[in-house]
Each structure stands twice: as C-alpha cells, then as structure tokens.
Structure 1
Amino acid sequence: MPELPEVETVRRTLNELVRGKRIERVTVSLPRIIQRPQEPEAFAAALAGHTIQSVERRGKFLRILLDGLVLVSHLRMEGRYGVYRADEPVETHTHVRFHFDDGTELRYKDVRQFGTMHLFAPGEDLTLPPLNKLGIEPLDEAFTLQAFKKALSNRTTKIKPLLLNQAYIVGLGNIYVDEALFTAGIHPERPADTIKPAEWVRLYEAIRATLSRAVDVGGSSIKSYVNGQGELGMFQHELLIYGRESQPCRKCGSSIDKTVVGGRGTHICLRCQPLSKNRRVAAAKSNVK
C-alpha cells in the first residue's frame, strides 16, 4: 500500500489542488526522505521559486512536474499528501512542507518514514533510478495481451511474485494481484510457464478490469490510505478475496485460505484456484523452508 489505484487517485486529487501554485520555500524536517540531492538544503533551495505544472504517475511513483524540474515521490507504506492553509496546525509526522505564495502548503506526512523524494532535470528522471527500470503500465495502450505474455509466459517463477515485480508490470501490489488471480481462477503458486493461453487471457482481462474499477472508486482504504483531500477509497467494499481469510468464497462458498507466497500474505480459494497434487506438495515443501 498504496498501489496503482491509490497513487493514481492521489495524482488526480493533487493535480486539482496544486497545479499552478508557486513554491515560495520548502521545509524539510526529516532529511532521509530526500534522496536526491542528498542535502535537504539543496533540495529546498532548488525548488524555491518554481511553479507546479502538473502531477503525473509512473507505476507507484508520483511525478510532480514543475517549470524546469521533476520531483519523483514514492509514498511507500503510509505516506500521504494534503493541502492546508499555512496557519493550520502541523500534524505529527509531517516531514516535508511546500510553502506556496498564496498562503497554502502542500504537506507530506509519513508515520512509517519510508517515503522518498528525488529531484531531477526534465527527462532525466526517466533515465535514472528509481524510474529507469520500471515495466509496462497496466492501464496504458502498450499493455497488450501480447506484451503481457511476452514479459512473463516463459518464466518458471511463480506467477504471484512475477506480477509483483515492478520490472515487468508496474503498480500491482498484494491486494490487486490476489484479486486478479482469483478472478482469473489461477493459483498464485503456479509457475508462469504452466499457464495456458486461455488463462493468460483471463488474467490479462482481470488485471485491467480490477485496476480500472479500483481507480473509478478511489482505491482501497485498507489501513491509513486517503487521497489528497483526506477522503477514503471505496474499493475495499468490493474486494472478492483479499482480507477475507476464513470467510466464504463469493463464487463457490468454500472457506478462503491464507498462506505465504513469495514472502507475502496471500488469499486463495482452493476450489476456484486449483493447484495440481504434485505442485501442492512442492509448494508445501517450499513454504516450510
């Protein structure tokens, strides 16, 4: 958290709230949030006087485009942005404040303190870390069935860790991978090279449909996620399998299991997402290790 739908919702909200605002100064209270340049003083000085042109997204990263600079921001586990009047009290765990010349502020709050900010010249951000090795955007036109299969189908790795790997497809995290695999009827421990052509079609369509619907309703507020206006997402009310351990499957009524796949908590309906006996044995041995 947050994943593509949540970051996209934040992007849209911030685009409405801060586009056209001119930064007068920047206050950094937690230096380690600033990754580039390494000195928070240089970061603040570089941004002073610049105007925000728009807010874009690449995978789970926000790209705040200014006149002559690009600010790349990753929210990590619990980072959040909000716009406030300058005279409003500053909440605990507010680590970066962008002071605008109209008397408002964009504030970045992060209880877990895992978020990052990188500052680049225009175009440079796409050729350097952390954005330079990201995969296909699953809601872009470039994400075709052919491109999807080409990226993953010949690999022997389990399908869930592959879908979580941002070098292949960006924006997918634990929630939406579980949801898409369930919708497609594919067990998360299936090696990618065992998935059949019809299953690839179902999985491709499930990823697109799940993410599109989640974006439409503002993402999922599972823990602390809110958009830039402090509003909750609504997709958590539509989740089919994620977070529903021991509850009845919405398709077949069987009890939903929870296990660990690739180090991540994973929700499965063993009736709707079958795994062959041999692979069940292999998976059980792998999980014990």
Structure 2
Amino acid sequence: MAEVPEVEIIVRDLRQAVVGRHFTEAEVLSPAVVRFPSPPDFIEALRGRTVTGAHRRAKFILLPLDDGRTLAIHFMLWGDLKLLPQGSERAPSTLVVFSLEGGEELHLTDTLGYARVAVGPASEVALRLKLEELGPEALDDTFTPEVLARQLRRRRSPLKTVLLNQRVLAGLGNRDADESLWQAGLDPRRLASSLTREEGVRLHRAIRAVLEEGLRLRGTQKDLFGVQGQAKHRRNVFGRTGAPCPRCTTPVSHLRIGGRNTHWCATCQPESGAPSEPAQASLL
C-alpha cells in the first residue's frame, strides 16, 4: 500500500536517479491513467523535457520540468514506479512507460489500474489537483503539536475520519492513521475536538514516529530500483482483526469508520481516553 513513507522513498530515489535527465519518449498503455491533458498531448508535453526536481505533496509525486510545467504522479492504493533498462519486459499492470536519456525507462504500474498522471503549468497542476487546499505536511519541521491542535480543535467528527481528511493533515493514510492512534493510546471513534493538550502532544509524537519508522525501513513496497522495503504492512493493529494486541494481548477490534476499515485495541485505546497502561513506542 502506497502511503507517505512509500511515496517519499520514491521521491528521494527520483532525486538521485532521474533529476537532471530528460524524457526521450513516453508511452501511455492505459488512456484512463492520464487526468489531463489528452494522452497524445501528455506525451508531447514530456518529449525532450528535462526533470529539474522531485517533490512530494501529500501522496502526489511532483516532477518540475525545464519549461515550467510539472509532471504529477499519484499511486492511489497500489501504484508503483520502477527504473529499468530500456526494453525491459512490461508487467501486465504497466500503465505508462517513460523513456529516459541514457537507456533507462520508468514503468508506472498498478494492479488495480487506479494510479493517475497529469502534466501542465505548475499553477494549473496545483489548481486542478487542489494542492493548495491540502493541510500541513506531517513530516515538515513546521508540523508541531500546536499546529495539530489547531487543525483538530473544531472538528466534531471521529478522530480517524479527521486524520484522513487531507485538508486537515496532508498525506496520512489509513494504515498509518490506525498505527498512530494505537501508539498514542487514542480511540479512533473519539471526537477530534475532545482531545486534551496532553493527548494532542501524544498523537503528534505518534504520527511522527510511525512515519519516520516507515522511512527508516524504506517503506513496505519495492523502491525505484526494485529493492524491497523492510517495513511491515501489517504492523501492530492495522489489518490484524482478532489478533492479540502486541501490548496487552486484547484481540484487535475492527469497524468501518467513515467508510474506512479501522483497527484498534479496546484496552490500550479506551473510549475514556485514559489507557490502562502508558503507550509504548514499539512500532514493530
């Protein structure tokens, strides 16, 4: 599952291996993958253009080009990007092939076919993808407990729903939200506005720890070069319905909140907001 750690790893790899090189060609194998412009115009926009940078905004990969346009890539759930030798075999899930100078290709794949790309002037990309409406980045130095408290204090919706609202916090995904709430000892069903200052600090610390641990282990998927990351997709509670909580052995609970599968420990994350034992920083 491509969440912030997985996307950030790919962005860092792109800075290393692709920035400064130009596209010699592009081939769209699934027209639906191109959000804008039309697939032929998308291909023409990339041909001969040099990649001048690689950035991430939430789960968007943003590659500025030397003519002022930006190539945007979004993996959705299971998208992936691989750097391969030119002429490499194309997996059935390949959606776009970007040919690079130097005899290599970037293959964008997605077994579900949901990944999307777009290219256009930077301002148009930001407007059409609503990048300016996104909330603060959880990995930025400017993301502090005070910023998180400000984002949560007026939200009278369940914590889980609010944490997945990209206008509140950019890029936090389903898996990492569950893991952050487990580590912070907070019930995902509680109203976001109900958190005390101490609970907000705990949640902030947990979010940063979960994301940084994912980065340190290079995510759960293969990186740009095909090397498998060492982070576990199913960590402490996510996707472990009925399994023993690694902290207290209570069976992990499951519920759909806001349409999303949610996992938590009823003992470590009580509705009262006061866990029976302090949350430990054991992510694995």
TM-score normalised by length of structure 2: 0.90
Unaligned runs of 5+ in 2: 273-284
Distance 1:153 1:211 in 2: 23
> How big is the shift at 1:237?
7.3
Q: Does 1:248 align with 2:244?
A: yes
Stretch moving more, 90-99 or 234-243? 234-243
SS in 2 for 1:32: helix
1:80-134 superposed Cα distances (whole Å, 9 cap, x missing partner): 1111222322221212111123221111112211111111223443344242311
Q: Which residue of 1 aligns with 2:62?
A: 63
Counterparts in 2 of 1:80-119, with a 5 A limit? 80-119=80-119
Distance 1:81 1:62 in 2: 11
Distance 2:264 2:227 in 1: 30
SS in 1 for 2:229: coil
Counterparts in 2 of 1:217-236, with a 5 A limit? 217-220=217-220, 225-236=221-232
> Identity of counterpart residues, as a percentage?
34
Q: Which residue of 2 aligns with 1:184?
A: 184
How large is the RMSD of aligned CA atoms in angstroms?
Answer: 1.6
Q: Which residue of 1 aligns with 2:276?
A: none
Counterparts in 2 of 1:127-276, with a 5 A limit? 127-220=127-220, 225-236=221-232, 239-276=235-272
Distance 1:203 1:270 in 2: 17
Q: What letter matches 1:56 in structure 2?
A: H
Stretch moving more, 228-237 or 158-167? 228-237
> How big is the shift at 1:139?
0.9
1:2-39 superposed Cα distances (whole Å, 9 cap, x missing partner): 111110011112222212221111111111111111x1
> How big is the shift at 1:232?
2.1
SS in 1 for 2:225: coil
Q: Does 1:35 align with 2:35?
A: yes
Q: Which residue of 2 aligns with 1:24?
A: 24
Aligned residues of 1:9 and 1:219 also touching (Cα < 8 A): yes
Aligned residues of 2:73 and 2:116 also touching (Cα < 8 A): yes
> How big is the shift at 1:79?
1.2
1:152-172 superposed Cα distances (whole Å, 9 cap, x missing partner): 122210000000111110111
SS in 2 for 1:132: helix
1:27-54 superposed Cα distances (whole Å, 9 cap, x missing partner): 11111111111x1111111111111122
Distance 1:229 1:141 in 2: 28
Q: Which residue of 1 aligns with 2:278?
A: none
Distance 1:91 1:180 in 2: 34
TM-score normalised by length of structure 1: 0.89
- May I ask how many residue pairs the two structures share in their alignment? 271
SS in 1 for 2:35: strand
1:162-211 superposed Cα distances (whole Å, 9 cap, x missing partner): 00111110111111111110111110000112222211110011111111
Unaligned runs of 5+ in 1: 277-289
Distance 1:264 1:21 in 2: 40
Q: What letter matches 1:215 in structure 2?
A: L
Q: Which residue of 1 aligns with 2:52?
A: 53
Aligned residues of 2:234 and 2:240 also touching (Cα < 8 A): no
Aligned residues of 2:29 and 2:95 also touching (Cα < 8 A): yes
Aligned residues of 2:79 and 2:110 also touching (Cα < 8 A): yes
Q: Which residue of 1 aligns with 2:7?
A: 7
Aligned residues of 1:125 and 1:132 also touching (Cα < 8 A): no
